[in-house]
Chain A
């Protein structure tokens, strides 16, 4: 079975669990490194960023004083989640990622071709997620404390990233809650933040329709999780000697990571954009050129045989079939030494 299909199934299950799990009383905590939006009331686990921003908006006297222990425990929980699962949160678990993948599937079913970033554009966008991460740390701090002698920021800037995250308007929709699609006129800050929210939501729908995983290029959660690229339990390894630089992996990558195709001298291929969807391995035709590893042990390797099997099952046309050879008995490539 194609890994891509399995991944979509896992994403769907995680989506149902994360968005509706609370209705059954299930919860996996509040430090989950994925967009399990807190604005969904019956959620099965909370996005890490909301309590993170709340913690950071406390005055430093309490953040480093009375709640320091709680904060450290909270960060530690996040650390463990990120270490064990790492970027697989992006590719296999994130509800927003699931929604974007659904949009892509709808587009493919409609027969509309996708769009790709120009290389320079994609390179230029890479700093945005780090900038957002820095902002979501500094702005809440400025609310509870005076940064560099500046006056304290308005409380309307509370949880600044949550206010612009596309999860806020869209995930409550799955509860029939449209109350987050609005413009708040009560202050200039609110007008700007809610307008940004609508802008990003609109981009999510329109750009996410034509470009795969459009918003994942800007997600600060990816920036956070990329701290764990090298040390995470799940890894992606490349064997440069086996690579022909055919570019299949780059073509299949939703995040358009060129390094996976271009570089032969690098072993750890989980880059800052990578979401460990493993599509690159699926389309690599050279044996063992790319491998997914768990704690260093390969769990899924590229192979010519696997490639051909999966390709034969991709978009098989019912009427003409792909069997044009008289003897319908595809041989198997014998195992190498």
Chain B
């Protein structure tokens, strides 16, 4: 069921005349450009950055310079998606371009917060702000926006967005283990297939699906290589840059991204051979987990790394988890491939919106072991209740295993950067001291 259409349907609560809307849009556009340029100014001062970051940087620079050119120039239809629960293979198989619309701009959150409660998910506010103002054209240009009902905010986001774009809600089961849930999700995926076929006008056939899965497999292969390189003792790439690489997947075509990632991986391998690291070996290895970190909200990664930590991995749906899980082609037949995609979208997902925490716990412990993590930073956005709810038991379990942790509850605004910096620096010092105490070689 697709509700809404492109255009502007005023909200009954906030009719806001055209002037106000234009003013808000202009303000957002200016501030967004300012913050993006600030980021890149800071980046240009950094040394030891891999040159292959250029294609990814180009995508993000366009946020400031040419918002209309963020997405690749293509005649294909654009399908906006939120969350990882929508299998992008289906969109590629329908001959369209998937655009992940999860937003990270604090200015956009300001622009969109009029209709929201005081404490609400900043990502959803930002997405609403972008859609409402139309500052980034991709939010309005989508022929369909698919919103899975993973968290409560997204459940209500659909109605808000449907005033400006066609929206389709996808009902994601919360309980992974039951057969009825899975069968229900398979049915939802088939409903999605029908909607995509209708919107794009192209049939999703077995061949197209197979090709799309192959496309994603290649991207996932590069991603795995990338993540495995980060397991190395040398921190070959900054955590923020790694997040940017994954984040760029939101806006790039799969083939382009894979190509760029491959080049980057080659360079990282060379850097490894040359023992070229971005941080000194004394930097404690830190894992970031929790609510998503989306460009231009590099606040937390920058805090950690500027404080001297090495952000070697993250368990975020916006970067570290993005292309990790791979769907298998068991029988290369249509129904089976659809079901495989459906399973991949939901079963290994460690998001707290599902009923059990065990998957996330197992993954965290495994990452701690694989990446030789010394400290874990929990990032919880204000209003992000699932992550907040999982936090206490998770902290307890990790603490019982002797893992040092830091909990950060924040939102997108840069106002609390300084108080956080103190805390993060203290945390990094603790980790360094711990390392010395435990006799680890620097």
Contacts and interface: CB of A to CB of B under 8 A. Distances in A.
Given A320-B207, A336-B231, 15 more contacts: A108-B333, A120-B179, A246-B343, A247-B343, A248-B327, A252-B330, A283-B328, A285-B326, A308-B221, A320-B211, A322-B210, A322-B217, A322-B218, A325-B218, A337-B231
Interface string B217-251: 11011101100110100000000000000000000
Contacts of B366: 241-242
Contacts of A337: 231
B385 interface: no
22 contacts: A111-B333, A112-B333, A246-B343, A246-B344, A248-B328, A248-B343, A252-B330, A285-B326, A285-B328, A308-B326, A314-B329, A317-B207, A322-B215, A324-B215, A327-B263, A331-B262, A331-B266, A332-B225, A333-B224, A333-B228, A334-B225, A336-B370
Contacts of B177: 262
B265 A111 contact: no
Interface in B102-148: none
A254 to B, nearest CB: 10
Interface in A231-251: 240-248, 251
Contacts of A153: none
Contacts of A119: 179
Contacts of A285: 325-326, 328
B262 A327 contact: yes
Nearest to B212: A324
Choose among B229, B336, B365 the residue with the greatest number of A CB atoms under 10 Å from its CB.
Answer: B336
B275 interface: no
A14 B359 CA distance: 42
Contact of B362 (A114, A240, A325): A240
A259 to B, nearest CB: 12
B68 interface: no
Contacts of A120: 179
A68 to B, nearest CB: 49
A161 B228 CA distance: 54
Interface of B: 176-177, 179, 206-207, 210-211, 214-215, 217-218, 220-222, 224-225, 228-229, 231, 254-255, 258-259, 262-263, 265-266, 269, 325-336, 339-340, 343-344, 347-348, 358-359, 362-363, 365-366, 369-370
B225 A241 contact: no
A333 B262 CA distance: 11
A88 to B, nearest CB: 21
B94 to A, nearest CB: 15
A251 B328 contact: yes
Nearest to A252: B330
A89 B321 CA distance: 40
A108 B215 CA distance: 22
Chain A contact patch, size range? 35 or more
B259 A326 contact: yes
Contact of B218 (A251, A330, A334): A330
A334 B297 CA distance: 31
Contacts of A1: none
A118 B179 CA distance: 8
A171 to B, nearest CB: 27
Interface string A297-337: 00000001001100110110100101011110111111011
Contacts of B263: 327
Most buried by B among A118, A240, A311, A317: A311
A326 B255 contact: yes
A285 B348 CA distance: 11
A112 B334 CA distance: 9
Nearest to B369: A241
B410 to A, nearest CB: 28
Given A245-B359, A251-B339, A336-B231, A317 B179 contact: no
Contacts of B332: 108, 314-315
Contact of B228 (A251, A279, A312, A336): A336
User: Which 9 residue pairs of A and B lie closest in terms of their CB atoms, listed nearest first?
Assistant: A315-B332, A322-B214, A246-B348, A283-B328, A244-B348, A113-B335, A248-B328, A247-B347, A119-B179
